[in-house]
C-alpha cells in the first residue's frame, strides 16, 4: 500500500461522488508537499476566524451537515478550549484544510464524543473517563474545501500539486498527532467513518473503534488512538511526511510545546 494509493482512498472518502485517476510514483510526495502547502498553528483570533469561515464553507454550505450561520462562521462551545491548526496554500495563503484538537482540563469539560456518544461506547476500558483529563483530547472538525477535494480527484493532469492535494486530509491527521504528543494529550479520540479508519490504518494510523456507529454529520463511530504509537507504526513515506510537517509547523510558530492551558475557562 503506497502513500499515493491510500491518499487517493482518503480523498474519495471525503467526497465519494467522483472517480480517482492514476498518478505518478509516491516516493517524492513528502518532498513536494512543502512546495505547495504549509502547516500552521492558529494563534490569533484573526487566524481562528479564517478557520471558522472555512468550516462554515465545508460543513454548512458544501456538505450541509450544519445549518448556515448569519456571520458565516461555524463555531461551537468546544472551540474555546481547542487547538486549531490549518494547512495553507503557499501560493496564495488560502486555507486548504483545518482540524482542531479539543482538550479537557476539568471533570465538567466533556469531549464532543462524551457529550454526544457516551451511551454508544462498547469498549469501556478505553473510554475517556478512565484517563486523566489532562491527558485526553479529541481530534475533530477536519475540513477540506471542495476545490481541494475535487482537484485531487477530477483533474486529468498528473503533476506534483495535484498529487499533493490528495495529502491534505492525511496531513491534518498527522499534524493533529504531532500537537497531541507535544501537549501531552496522549489519549486521542475521533468520530470517523469506519471505512476511513480502515484506510488510515493501512498507512499506520491505528485507530481502535470503541463504539457503535451513529449518525453524526454522516455515519461515524467513536475511535481511540494512543498517539505515542504512531511514530512506530507509520509507514516510511508517511513518517517522512510527518517529520516534514513537524519541522514546518514549529519553525513558523516557534512553539516547542503548545500552551493549551491558556484556553481553559471552566472550573472543576
| pTM confidence score | 0.84
As given in the structure block, the three cell numbers for residue 143 are 475540513
Q: Could you write out the DSSP letters of every residue in the chain? A: --HHHHHHHHHHHH-TTS-------STTHHHHHHHHEEEEE--SHHHHHHHHHHHIIIIIIIS-SS---TTS----TTGGGEEEEEEEETTT--EEEEEEEEE--STT---HHHHHHGGGBS-GGGSGGGS-GGGEEEEEEEE--HHHHHHHHH-----HHHHHHTTHHHHHHHHHHHHHHHTT--EEEEEE-HHHHHHHHTTT---EE-B--EESSSEEEEEEEEGGGHHHHS-HHHHHHHHHHHHHHHHHH--SS--GGGG-----
Q: What is the pLDDT of residue 241?
A: 92
Does the pLDDT value for residue 155 go beyond 80? no
* Residue 26 confidence (pLDDT): 44
Using 50, 70 and 90 to split pLDDT, how confident is the model at 262? very low
Average pLDDT (122-135) is 96
How would you classify the pairing of strands 136-143 and 219-226? unpaired
List the grid coordinates of 256.
516547542
Segment 206-220, tens digit of pLDDT: 999 999 999 888 889
Instruction: Provide the mean pLDDT of the chain.
Output: 83
Residue 197 CA to residue 224 CA, distance in Å, equals 10
Q: Rounded to whole angstroms, how far apart are CA atoms 147 and 144?
A: 8
Give the pLDDT confidence score for residue 131 in this predicted structure.
97
Q: How confident is the model at residue 153 (pLDDT cuts 50, 70, 90)?
A: low
Residue 126 confidence (pLDDT) above 90 = yes
Instruction: Using the predicted structure, report yes or no on whether residue 8 has a pLDDT greater than 80.
Output: no
Above 60 in pLDDT, residue 28? Answer: yes
* More confident of the two residues 250 and 98: 98
- Which is nearest to 24 in space by CA: 159, 202, 203, 153? 159
**What digits encode the pLDDT tens for the residues 41-98?**
998 999 999 999 999 999 999 999 999 999 999 999 999 999 999 999 998 889 999 9
Better-predicted residue by pLDDT, 12 or 157: 157
CB burial of residue 43 (10 Å; 0-12, 13-18, 19+): middle
Residue 265 has pLDDT above 80, yes or no: no
Q: Tell me the C-alpha distance between 268 and 258, whole Å.
A: 22
Q: What is the pLDDT of residue 14?
A: 47
Domains and CATH numbers, the chain: 3-255 (3.40.630.30)
157-203: pLDDT as tens digits: 557 777 889 899 999 999 999 999 999 999 999 999 988 898 899 99
The pLDDT of 105-114, averaged and rounded, is: 94
Amino acid at each position: 500500500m503506497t502513500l499515493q494509493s491510500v491518499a487517493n482512498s482518503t480523498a474519495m472518502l471525503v467526497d465519494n461522488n467522483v472517480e480517482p485517476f492514476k498518478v505518478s510514483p509516491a516516493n517524492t510526495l513528502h518532498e513536494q508537499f512543502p512546495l505547495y502547502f504549509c502547516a500552521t498553528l492558529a494563534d490569533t483570533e484573526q487566524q481562528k476566524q479564517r478557520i471558522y469561515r472555512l468550516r462554515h464553507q465545508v460543513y454548512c454550505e458544501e456538505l450541509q451537515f450544519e445549518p448556515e450561520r448569519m456571520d458565516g462562521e461555524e463555531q461551537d462551545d468546544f472551540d474555546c478550549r481547542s487547538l486549531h491548526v490549518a494547512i495553507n496554500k503557499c501560493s496564495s495563503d488560502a486555507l486548504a484544510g483545518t482540524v482542531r484538537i479539543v482538550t479537557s482540563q476539568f471533570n465538567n469539560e466533556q469531549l464532543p464524543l462524551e457529550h454526544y456518544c457516551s451511551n454508544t461506547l462498547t469498549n469501556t476500558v478505553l473510554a475517556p473517563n478512565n484517563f486523566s483529563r489532562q491527558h485526553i483530547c479529541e481530534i475533530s472538525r477536519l475540513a477540506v474545501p471542495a476545490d481541494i477535494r475535487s482537484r485531487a480527484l477530477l483533474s486529468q493532469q498528473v503533476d506534483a500539486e495535484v498529487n499533493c492535494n490528495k495529502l491534505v486530509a492525511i496531513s491534518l491527521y498527522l499534524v493533529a498527532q504531532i500537537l497531541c504528543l507535544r501537549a501531552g494529550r496522549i489519549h486521542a479520540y475521533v468520530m470517523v467513518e469506519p471505512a476511513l479508519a480502515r484506510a488510515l490504518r493501512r498507512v499506520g494510523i491505528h485507530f481502535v473503534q470503541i463504539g457503535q456507529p451513529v449518525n453524526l454529520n454522516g455515519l461515524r463511530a467513536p475511535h481511540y488512538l494512543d498517539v505515542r504509537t504512531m511514530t512506530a507504526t507509520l509507514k516510511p513515506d508517511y513518517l517522512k511526511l510527518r517529520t516534514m510537517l513537524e519541522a514546518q509547523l514549529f519553525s513558523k510558530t516557534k512553539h516547542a510545546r503548545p500552551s493549551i492551558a491558556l484556553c481553559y475557562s471552566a472550573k472543576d
